[in-house]
Amino acid sequence: MEEKKGFSTRLVHGGGEPCPQTGSLIPPLYQTSTFVFDNVEQGAKRFAGEEKGYIYSRLGNPTLTRLEEALADLEEAEAGLAFGSGMAAVSGVLIALLKNGDHLLCGDTVYGCTYGLLRLFQEKFGIEVGFADLSAPEEAVKAIQPNTRVIYLETPVNPTMNLVDLEAVSRLARQTGAWVVVDNTFATPYLQQPLKLGADFVVHSATKYIGGHGDVIAGITLGKREILDEIRSTTLKDIGGVLSPFDAWLLLRGLRTLAVRMDRHVANAREVVRFLENHPAVGEVLYPGSPNHPQNRLANRQMRAPGGVVGFRLKGGESAARAFLDRVRLCRLTVSLGETTTLIQHPATMTHAVVPADAREQMGITGDLVRISTGIEDIQDIIADLEQALDKGSS
């Protein structure tokens, strides 16, 4: 048996071998909507599932296959399934796993659009939704119900950066027969592999670190092949949240540099945290990689490194946070994360604005909270920008 290559080697070579027909180092882009059959019998067999082969790019495409196989290898999953956005990936797996009358248990803090989707499930489709602090095992145990079908969580949590013990939650799920679905966007498979810790499915907004360059919208779900094959032939096919071949090709390009980018994101985040923890205008820094964070030991146990996103609260409250964000220059005031550029935003009025105010307060997403996704610029330039924006507010 061939020895498995290292992670970075798999990143670089996971997109496929050079094209055998032309010798092209980069695998070709199959920018086509449909595929020609040799004859009617072959077409009929493919539609019936009796013969493997491509039919129509909504059902599969060679470029998407390369991406799905590469990410499945990195997450050590049986299979992967690409979608047109991160939310399409979340929707696809949850629609497949849930039905009317089922209960979904979600972490008490979750991305705003995911929160909106769960409310839609509850209000229109009769799926029960509960929220609990999954970082506290006793709270998770109390929140489980006889009809709990799925436990859905983020770790690190967006934007408070809390962690969930994946092994503990997965043990609980196995005892109750629930599926565990983990949004691994903030960590990527380079920093954390939830399936190895007991989870059943992983979802990514591949728009973020996997793409890495801010030029693609995409999502992917990874996990058990049998269920993902079913999602491909039903939910994905019929709802149509499909990724384009060109976007899949861009993601394959982004994957090649994921490790080196993540190393730089993490290194810059650590320096930003040191700066913020010592600035008089900052009240609290939320980063599990800091020795001051209460979950630092858990971060060291289940993550290679704590990631490139940092949350922090300003002592002056929401007005100070808004004024600070209006003063940054190098850091770009925009939503999203995981790009080469440092991005900064105000979760309460932006990414989590859809969440009702009382729920946001319970999540800890208050007006004084700022989220920064450190880019790969020179760290002294990032800190200089943060410093001038903070100092002007205190002068």
Q: In the chain, where does DSSP find H-type helix? A: 7-13, 40-48, 62-75, 86-97, 112-125, 137-143, 166-176, 188-191, 225-231, 237-239, 245-255, 258-277, 296-302, 317-327, 357-363, 379-394
Band (20; pLDDT cuts 50, 70, 90) = confident
Residue 344 is encoded by which pair of tokens? 């900064």
* pLDDT, mean over the chain: 95
What's this model's pTM, rounded to 2 decimal places?
Answer: 0.95
From 1.10.10.1100, 3.40.640.10, 3.40.50.1000, 3.90.1150.10, which CATH number describes the 7-30+61-255 domain? 3.40.640.10
Q: How far apart are CA 255 and CA 33, in angstroms?
A: 24
Looking at residue 395, its pLDDT comes to 57
Provide mean pLDDT across the span 215-242: 95
Name the one residue in this structure whose structure tokens are 């208050």.
Answer: 366
* pLDDT value at 311 more than 70: yes
Mapped onto helix, strand or coil, the DSSP state of residue 52 is coil
Domain assignments of the chain as residue spans, ordered by start: 7-30+61-255, 259-394
Q: How far apart are CA 371 and CA 377, in angstroms?
A: 17
Band (393; pLDDT cuts 50, 70, 90) = low
Segment 34-84, tens digit of pLDDT: 999 999 999 999 999 999 999 999 999 999 999 999 999 999 999 999 999
Pick from 244, 255, 274: nearest CA to 379: 274
Domain 259-394 - what CATH class? alpha beta
Mapped onto helix, strand or coil, the DSSP state of residue 378 is coil
Task: Give the DSSP letter string of 276-340.
Answer: HHT-TTEEEEE-TTSTTSTTHHHHHHH-SS--SEEEEEETTHHHHHHHHHHH-SSSEE-S---SS
Length of the chain (residues): 395
Name the one residue in this structure whose structure tokens are 């509960």.
Answer: 130
| Pick from 128-142, 167-181, 305-319: least confident | 128-142
Segment 313-341, tens digit of pLDDT: 999 999 999 999 999 999 999 999 999 99
Segment 343-361, tens digit of pLDDT: 999 999 999 999 999 999 9
Q: Dihedral of CA 149/155/159/162: which sign?
A: positive
Q: How far apart are CA 304 and CA 70, in angstroms?
A: 20
Count Cβ neighbours within 10 Å for each residue of 286-296 and write b for 16 or more, e otherwise: bbbbbeebebb
Segment 206-225, tens digit of pLDDT: 999 999 999 999 999 999 99
Band (1; pLDDT cuts 50, 70, 90) = low
Pick from 3, 17, 110: nearest CA to 364: 110
Looking at residue 2, its pLDDT comes to 63
Looking at residue 283, its pLDDT comes to 97
Looking at residue 37, its pLDDT comes to 96
Catalytic residues: 58, 111, 183, 208
